[in-house]
């Protein structure tokens, strides 16, 4: 991304202003600076501050602020593009590692996982900067591979999982007697941005892989809950009217109502970010209704209503999704409470419990950060949290969180009284910025491990699962662990009648 000539002067001024703040411009900015502009180190020690922070710190004039604002947006977009490219590369590497692992025997698999981890050493820190990790940080991460393996019934603490992640059986409905599963054929795929490929008519007894869930639901041997969807225009929201970058016109929302729900009674609640679990749209797992049908029927979890809320659009710093999820505050929980839950109750004739012990938040990546902060800032609303690859890093700083969500383990949790919250966290061995130094506040593995350590020290009920051979929010890890996460996080729940 190369700035136009008309932006060279404000760009040089921005670099100079950041230098006065003790910060540096990114490598891309330094390379694109005009001749004669100051030279700066190639990697930031921290993400760039937002415009409000710069205004306060540097007493910017309105003219300077107007010149700098689009530059900050350009930096945010460039950072996102870089992160997205790295995430795709990580996903490709993880997929290849998974296929290699499938070909190995049980003795070879852990050896390969260690070798694959070592092969990551040459990868730079991405947004975390080009600086190398310290020996202490490498040792800190290496210890995670030595954690005890997770087993059913495991209590509080840190565990390792993987390197294989078969889908949990709860992700599909059991079939009625006499109904056989057709032969599954891989679904045709297209490159990103390309039109969907043509689907050929399959022979009798065959089915595309992405149709299996619907087939099992339609032929389920157990009660099936209701799933409904609706959308809300962002412009009608008082909390998030869609003014940030890449905002969508409307957000999609799915609602799951268990077959066991008794009308008029207050139901437990599960809220998922990025519409995790929603069939047909959203990110992450699409299997939450099937998982809940199975687990509610087996009385392993309460008969909860699930509201799966998609983000408002975009991703990364400065985006609508970033605004909603990465802001370290209770605003997103307030939005759900004021604008989503009342509509669900009214339109679907249900009641949702006010008891925070009967409410769970769920998410992955920045959606995991939203799930975390929903409960952290509003424990009177939520007592239970599930998060994969939780973005407990500095995506968006603020006055009370100078290092963004990294501040949670640095200061916010240690300096706060213990709250009645259970936390289930999972992070991958190959997660985002897993080789970046802690000084960049952008290493997902260190952030999650250190958050777990602080939770342990404070006496919280928590689990941290370190996924061998796992990247950033991979679907196979989510569908492997979703049932166990739900079962663990609901422990101790006693329903109330309010």
Tens digit of each residue's pLDDT (9 = 90 or more) over 95-146: 677 678 777 776 666 666 656 654 443 333 333 344 789 999 999 999 999 9
Give CA–CA dist 423/419, Å, rounded: 11
| Residue bearing the bigger pLDDT, 498 or 365 | 365
- The reported pLDDT for the residue numbered 71 is 75
Measured distance CA(191)–CA(239) in Å, rounded: 36
Cα–Cα distance measured from residue 185 to residue 327, given in angstroms and rounded to the nearest whole number: 42
DSSP 3-state percent helix, strand, coil across the chain (nearest 5): 45, 15, 45
Strand partners, 319: 245
Bigger pLDDT: 124 vs 10: 10
Check whether 198 has a pLDDT greater than 90.
Answer: no
For residue 288, what pLDDT is reported? Answer: 98
* pTM as predicted: 0.77
Q: Is the pLDDT of residue 277 over 60?
A: yes
Nearest to 265 by CA among 257, 273, 276, 255: 257
282 Cβ neighbours under 8 A, 6+ residues apart:
252, 254, 274, 275, 276, 308, 310
What are the b/e assignments for 212-231, b being 16+ CB within 10 Å?
bbebbbebbeeebbebebee
CA distance 442 to 380: 30
Place of tokens 């995506």: 395
Residue 195, pLDDT score: 85
Q: What is the pLDDT of residue 76?
A: 63
Going by C-alpha positions, the residue among 93, 81, 491 that lies closest to residue 315 is 81
Can you give the residue ranges of every domain in the chain?
5-83, 161-174+223-489, 181-219
SS3 (DSSP) at 314: coil
In 390-435, which residue ranges form alpha helices assigned H by DSSP? 407
Structure tokens at 236: 């009608």
Q: How confident is the model at residue 255 (pLDDT cuts 50, 70, 90)?
A: very high
In this predicted model, what pLDDT tens digit does every residue of 391-448 receive, in sequence order?
999 999 999 999 999 999 999 999 999 999 999 999 999 999 999 999 999 999 999 9
- Select from 392, 251, 367, 314 the least CA-distant residue to 81: 314
- Topology, domain 161-174+223-489: Rossmann fold (3.40.50)
Residue pair 171/290 in contact by the 8 Å Cβ criterion? yes
pLDDT average, residue stretch 230-240: 98
Q: Which residue has the higher pLDDT, 37 or 72?
A: 72
> Of 302, 323, 303, 299, nearest to 311 (Cα)?
323
Quick one: pLDDT at residue 129?
Answer: 42
End-to-end CA distance of the chain: 54
> In the prediction, which pLDDT does 44 show?
41
pLDDT exceeds cutoff 80 at 322: yes
Going by C-alpha positions, the residue among 361, 317, 302 that lies closest to residue 335 is 361
User: How much of the chain, in percent, has pLDDT values that exceed 90?
Assistant: 68
Contact 25, 37 (CB under 8 A): no
């Amino acid at each position: 991304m190369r700035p136009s000539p008309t932006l060279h002067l404000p760009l040089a001024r921005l670099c100079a202003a950041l230098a006065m703040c003790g910060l540096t411009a990114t490598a891309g900015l330094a390379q694109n600076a005009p001749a004669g502009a100051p030279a700066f180190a190639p990697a930031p020690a921290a993400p760039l501050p937002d415009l409000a922070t710069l205004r306060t710190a540097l007493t910017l004039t309105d003219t300077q602020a107007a010149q700098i604002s689009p530059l900050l947006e350009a930096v945010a977009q460039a950072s996102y593009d870089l992160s997205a490219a790295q995430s795709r590369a990580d996903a490709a590497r993880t997929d290849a590692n998974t296929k290699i692992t499938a070909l190995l025997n049980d003795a070879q698999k852990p050896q390969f996982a260690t070798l694959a981890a070592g092969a990551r050493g040459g990868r730079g820190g991405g947004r975390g900067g080009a600086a190398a990790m310290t020996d202490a940080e490498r040792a800190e991460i290496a210890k995670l591979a030595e954690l005890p393996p997770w087993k059913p019934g495991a209590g509080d603490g840190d565990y390792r999982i993987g390197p294989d992640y078969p889908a949990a059986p709860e992700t599909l409905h059991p079939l009625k007697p006499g109904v056989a599963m057709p032969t599954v054929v891989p679904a045709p795929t297209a490159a990103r941005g390309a039109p969907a490929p043509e689907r050929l008519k399959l022979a009798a007894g065959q089915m595309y892989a992405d149709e299996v869930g619907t087939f099992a639901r339609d032929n389920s041997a157990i009660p099936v809950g209701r799933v409904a969807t609706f959308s809300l225009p962002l412009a009608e929201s008082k909390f998030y009217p869609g003014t940030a970058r890449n905002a969508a016109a409307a957000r999609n929302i799915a609602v799951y109502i268990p077959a066991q729900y008794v009308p008029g009674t207050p139901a437990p609640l599960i809220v998922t970010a990025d519409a995790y679990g929603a069939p047909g749209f959203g990110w992450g797992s699409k299997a939450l209704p099937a998982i809940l049908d199975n687990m509610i029927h087996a009385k392993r979890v309460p008969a909860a209503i699930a509201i799966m809320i998609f983000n408002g659009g975009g991703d990364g710093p400065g985006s609508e999704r970033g605004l909603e999820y990465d802001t370290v505050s209770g605003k997103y929980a307030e939005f759900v409470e004021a604008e989503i839950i009342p509509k669900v109750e009214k339109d679907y004739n249900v009641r949702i419990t006010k008891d925070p012990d009967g409410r769970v938040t769920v998410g992955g990546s920045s959606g995991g950060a939203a799930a975390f902060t929903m409960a952290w800032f509003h424990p009177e609303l939520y007592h239970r949290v599930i998060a994969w690859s939780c973005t407990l890093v500095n995506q968006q700083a603020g006055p009370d969180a100078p290092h963004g969500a990294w501040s949670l383990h640095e200061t916010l949790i240690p300096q706060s009284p213990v709250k009645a919250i259970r936390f289930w966290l999972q992070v991958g061995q190959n997660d985002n910025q897993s080789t970046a130094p802690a000084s960049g506040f952008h290493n997902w593995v260190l952030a999650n491990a250190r958050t777990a350590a602080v939770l342990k020290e404070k006496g919280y009920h928590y689990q941290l699962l370190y996924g061998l051979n796992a990247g950033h929010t991979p679907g196979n890890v989510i569908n492997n662990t979703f049932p166990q996460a739900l079962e663990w996080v609901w422990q101790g729940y006693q329903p109330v009648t309010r």
